[in-house]
Amino acid sequence: MSDTHDDMESISKAVLFFNSRKVDMVLHAGDLVSPFTFEALGKLEAEFTGVFGNNDGDRLMLAKKSGDRLFDPPYVMEAGGKRLVLMHEPRVADELVESGKFDAVIYGHLHRHEIRKKGGTLIVSPGKVARLLKGESTVVLLDTGNMEASIFRL
């Protein structure tokens, strides 16, 4: 998920979606914005990991409310035996893909969903959860077993 921008109704829908699917981990690609978003995100039944975005304000309190599970991007991690990099702005996404070191590069910021493969790397943008401006509220489910991703509208 990405770009929740304090939209508590949409965040709650995303949490219900993830909980109903019994996902193991939820990744957030930045722009939570305010610490109170964890009133909804705190109801996740999955492990949570995220990165800061360009609109995130009180980073100290956001980190605290997340259980210190928000990191500066790009954040390199492992999930399901796969090497992932999570970021907000996709400025260095192509370079990370070309490095060949990652199974998936996940980014946010553009408010557009995307799933594509380049070489052996999956590139994923979940779009935006918030109902900002135009476009849909979307999330992506990634199966790290087969490295297939699907877009879901909230």
Q: What's the CA gap between 134 and 137, in Å, rounded?
A: 9
| The pLDDT of residue 133 is above 80 | no
Domain residue spans in the chain? 8-153
**Least-confidence region, from 37-46, 52-61, 132-141:** 132-141
Task: For residue range 64-115, list pLDDT tens digits in order.
Answer: 999 999 999 999 999 999 999 999 999 999 999 999 999 999 999 999 999 9
Given CATH 3.60.21.10, say whether it is the number of domain 8-153: yes
Give the pLDDT score at 135: 79
Band of pLDDT at residue 132, cut at 50, 70 and 90: confident
pLDDT class for 134, splitting at 50, 70, 90? Answer: confident
The residues facing 28 across adjacent strands are: 50
Whether the pTM exceeds 0.95: the reply is yes
How far apart are alpha carbons 54 and 48 in whole angstroms? 19
